[in-house]
Amino acid sequence: MTANNDIDQLEYGQWISLTNVSILPLDIDYYWSAYDDYFDYLSALSGRTNFQKETGLGKPNNGPGSIVSFDFEGMKVRDRLLINDRKNYVWKLDIPEATELFTLYQVTTTAKKVDNGTEVTVVVEFVLQSEERDKREAALNTFKKYFGLRSSELQNFLKRRDGDKYHELPQTK
């Protein structure tokens, strides 16, 4: 995980950007299939419970504009899918309103094919909500705890979803 170290991440109102790049031993199209069902993928991530799709009033069920709500760390959160570009491998979501942790929050995931699999880059940008530094620090630590788990959780999601059909690419040394 990399961060912009030129800033004080805990300064009130600071826009924080964290990046995680990983190589997964998966074919890019197989990797990207995890994003085919927005609701199923998000419900597989740790720390989240009580998932609901928000439907009605013209909201899409599983594409850009779809909203999923869930409980996270004792609060209600709503994630909105903005982009799922299967051709260019770009997936982006945000929160349509502030939570107890974040004033603003967006995640952009991109993928590209590499020799032994798929290079996945996840960029998360956010502004911490609390005016109290110790609460901002606790929120940042909570976020970092879960952020580091997401690549392995995606692979575990594919393993559960596909069972015997799950397939990793052979690795060369």
pLDDT tens profile 6-53? 457 788 889 999 999 999 999 999 999 999 998 999 889 988 999 999
pLDDT of residue 172: 54
Proportion of the chain above pLDDT 90, given as a percent: 61
> Does residue 7 fall inside a structural domain?
no
pTM: 0.88
Q: What share of residues in the chain are helix, strand, coil (percent, to 5)?
A: 25, 40, 35
How many C-beta neighbours within 10 Å does residue 139 have?
20
Rounded to an integer, the average pLDDT of 128-146 is 90
Dig out the tokens for 18 from the structure: 């964290």
Band the pLDDT of 62: cuts 50, 70, 90: confident
> Does residue 173 fall inside a structural domain?
no
pLDDT of residue 7: 54
pLDDT of residue 60: 83
User: CATH number for the domain including 55?
Assistant: 3.30.530.20
Domain encompassing residue 21 = 12-162
> Does residue 2 fall inside a structural domain?
no
Count of domains in the chain?
1
Helix residue ranges per DSSP H, 5-162: 28-32, 38-43, 133-147, 150-162
Rounded to an integer, the average pLDDT of 128-136 is 91
pLDDT of residue 5: 46
